[in-house]
Amino acid sequence: MIAFVDNWLQFLHSIFKWFLQIYTQKKIENKLKVSNLSPRPTSVNYHFTRQCNYRCGFCFHTAKSSFVLPLEEAMRGLRLLHEAGMEKINFSGGEPFIHQKGRYLGHLVRFCKRELGLASVSIVSNGSLITEDWFIRFGEHLDILAISCDSFQPETNNLIGRHRNSNKKEVATCKDDDQHLESLERVRGWCRDYRVAFKINSVINTHNFDEDMNRQIRQLNPVRWKVFQCLLIGGENHGKEALRNAEKFVVTDQQFESFLQRHREVACLVPESNVKMRNSYLILDERMRFLDCVDGRKTPSPSLLDVGVEAAIQASGFDEAMFFQRGGKYVWSKSDMSPSLLEW
């Protein structure tokens, strides 16, 4: 009897060890699966055109191609991104309002909000080509409109290149630069009238790092003021293959910090240094390829239209942890914003 019990206990012990080994192995496998998961495309920046009517000297997404996807193909890609978990889409360029005078952009904005039901649809523009008619047709589907403005001094905008291109070989006048600031004020008013959250993006460089913008930013009262440190990207604004040479625009970390300190009382300021910027954005180019900036240049992935989102995003170099660390996810739907933020 005792022998029988001993044998039975040994058998149960063996079964227990076997189950424990299986459980441990499965736990390890699950951890590995989690660690190897592709990052989720929570927020995507789609640069669907590289064409622009401005000539900013530090531009990091230059006019190396005139290609734009057919509208139906762009919509197909956006649907794939939505199915993979995209909550926010930001349309940029180039200048996104340049293609088909903004109609292409408008159709994408409406599709993303009405058909896909995205929480947030936003645009980054220089503001010069936006019309009130565009707001009338598409404004209800847009959550945030960001206007790029690096200076409130016309002479500084001239030095930066923040003005319209000209076919003539002549230097832009201050009148050209005043037009940019006039566009900024005009678009700010339309955002108020058509209930679109207004945002400002500024690139801090050697021509504006010592400027005081406190008064103007408070007057314009954007929901966010994104302040970027000028960034070099190989093949775009740096190196032999680049269409721009932004080396002369680069500021030191100390100069960037001095600008931030000067504006530290501006509540809507959101600073982004080179370290925070470089790999924390999911950037799609005009062919819907993710751009990997890890090595200081933009290396394209296969197009998600060909291989799907999960395969393409593996080659994006995206630092998801830094995305959240820099505050990449915020209150980005105008339906969730305080009504006072949409007023001026």
Supply the residues annotated as catalytic: 52, 56, 59
* 53-87 burial code (b ≥16 CB/10 A, e <16): bbbbbbbbbbbeeeebbeeeebbebbebbbebebb
In 3D space, the residue among 279, 316, 286 whose CA is nearest the CA of residue 301 turns out to be 316
> What is the secondary structure of 114-170 as a DSSP string?
IIS--SEEEEEE-STT--HHHHHHHGGG-SEEEEE---S-HHHHHHHT-SB--SSSS
Q: Residue 98 and residue 121: Cα distance in Å, rounded?
A: 18
Whether residue 48 contacts residue 99, with contact meaning beta carbons closer than 8 Å, is answered with yes
Specify the residue for token string 């230097």.
Answer: 171
CA distance 227 to 271: 5
Question: CA 150 → CA 36, 160, 210, 342, distances in Å?
Answer: 40, 8, 12, 22
Q: Which amino acid is at 337?
A: M
Q: How many residues are present in the chain?
A: 344
The single-letter code of the amino acid at 304 is L
| C-alpha to C-alpha distance for 163 and 156, rounded to whole angstroms | 11
* Rounded-to-10 torsion of CA 209, 214, 220, 225: 50
Would you call 227 helix, strand, or coil by DSSP?
Answer: strand
> Residue 104 in contact with residue 71, Cβ under 8 Å?
yes
